[in-house]
């Protein structure tokens, strides 16, 4: 599928977070963006500073043939489903994992992948149920906890989400991907100072990737700290794109602050 690149402002205005995060800028990057492992990330916000990864289709045909030969093999099913998800064939990925899970009901890694695919397809409650079987209280998996937190954030269950993140952080202290989700959770509940401090902790880690830094840039821009946000965003984006994103954010925030004319009711 081909799609026309959106302007920064169009990307910002593309979709509004269902939770009305401070200003209407929780935009998706559109159909051109890939979202590997996106259900591990608090998905109610699509950061306008994010950059799209390449669209890898090289292994898809090979994995398809391997899956046809051995559909009950859990690792082949996982690899094939991941390739399908990377190419936005989410419904087929769910179907592959569903069948593999039926044939391997106690395979926790398979249940984890199935839960992520369900979440990515919007089947959030079902995803939570599946993920609860992907690890056990005596042997918790921090990645599953992180995914459970992200799904709860998408459902608006912020307190529950943060319990999952805090539990994950006890296993992997200062893990940037977990801290990043926790920071986004604070953005969703409009606790912007907490969001900033949490995302600064995440960004300080040598393991932090560019998504973590762009989330920090978003938290700063929401507080009108535009210069610092632009500087951070420019570390991973072309300077002109970072500048354009900041300009679009300024404009949207200005629009949100303008008084709205409401009709008077008759008495």
pLDDT in tens, 47-68: 555 555 544 566 899 999 999 9
List % helix, strand, coil for the chain (3-state, nearest 5): 60, 0, 40
Model pLDDT, residue 261: 56
Query: Residue 130: CA atoms inside 13 Å, Cβ hemisphere, count?
Result: 25
Mean pLDDT computed over 5-20: 41
**What CA–CA distance (Å, rounded) separates 129 from 16?**
27
pLDDT tens digit sequence for 124-161: 999 999 999 999 999 999 999 999 999 999 999 999 99
- In degrees, rounded to 5, the angle at the alpha carbon of residue 250 between the alpha carbons of residues 51 and 238 is 30
User: Which of 20-24, 27-31, 155-159, 263-267 shows the lowest mean pLDDT across its residues?
Assistant: 27-31
**Range in 15-29, 69-83, 208-222 the model is least confident about:** 15-29
Q: pLDDT (tens digit, 9 = 90+) per residue, 241-264?
A: 888 888 887 887 777 666 655 554
| Rounded Cα distance, 183 and 3, in Å | 31
With contact defined as beta carbons under 8 Å apart, do 47 and 16 qualify? no
Q: Which fold has domain 8-255?
A: 1.25.40
pTM over 0.85: no
Position 267 confidence tier, pLDDT thresholds 50, 70, 90: very low
């Amino acid at each position: 599928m081909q799609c026309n690149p959106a302007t920064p402002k169009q990307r910002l205005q593309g979709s509004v977070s269902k939770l009305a995060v401070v200003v209407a800028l929780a935009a998706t990057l559109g159909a051109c963006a890939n979202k590997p492992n996106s259900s591990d990330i608090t998905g109610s916000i699509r950061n306008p500073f994010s950059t799209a990864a390449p669209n890898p289709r090289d292994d898809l045909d090979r994995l398809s043939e391997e899956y046809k030969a051995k559909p009950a093999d859990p690792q082949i099913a996982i690899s094939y489903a991941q390739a399908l998800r990377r190419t936005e064939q989410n419904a087929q990925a769910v179907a592959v994992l569903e069948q593999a899970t039926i044939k391997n009901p106690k395979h926790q890694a398979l249940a984890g992948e199935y839960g992520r695919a369900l979440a990515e397809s919007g089947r959030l409650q079902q995803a939570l149920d599946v993920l609860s079987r992907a690890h056990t209280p005596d042997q918790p998996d921090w990645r599953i906890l992180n995914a459970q937190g992200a799904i709860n954030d998408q459902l608006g269950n912020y307190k529950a989400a943060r319990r999952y993140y805090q539990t994950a952080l006890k296993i992997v202290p200062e893990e940037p991907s977990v801290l990043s989700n926790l920071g986004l959770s604070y953005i969703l509940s409009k606790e912007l100072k907490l969001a900033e401090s949490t995302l600064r902790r995440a960004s300080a880690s040598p393991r932090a990737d560019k998504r973590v830094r762009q989330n920090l840039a978003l938290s700063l821009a929401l507080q009108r700290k535009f210069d610092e946000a632009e500087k951070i965003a420019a570390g991973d984006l072309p300077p002109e794109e970072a500048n354009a994103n900041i300009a679009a954010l300024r404009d949207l925030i200005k629009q949100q602050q303008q008084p709205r004319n409401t009709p008077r009711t008759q008495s």
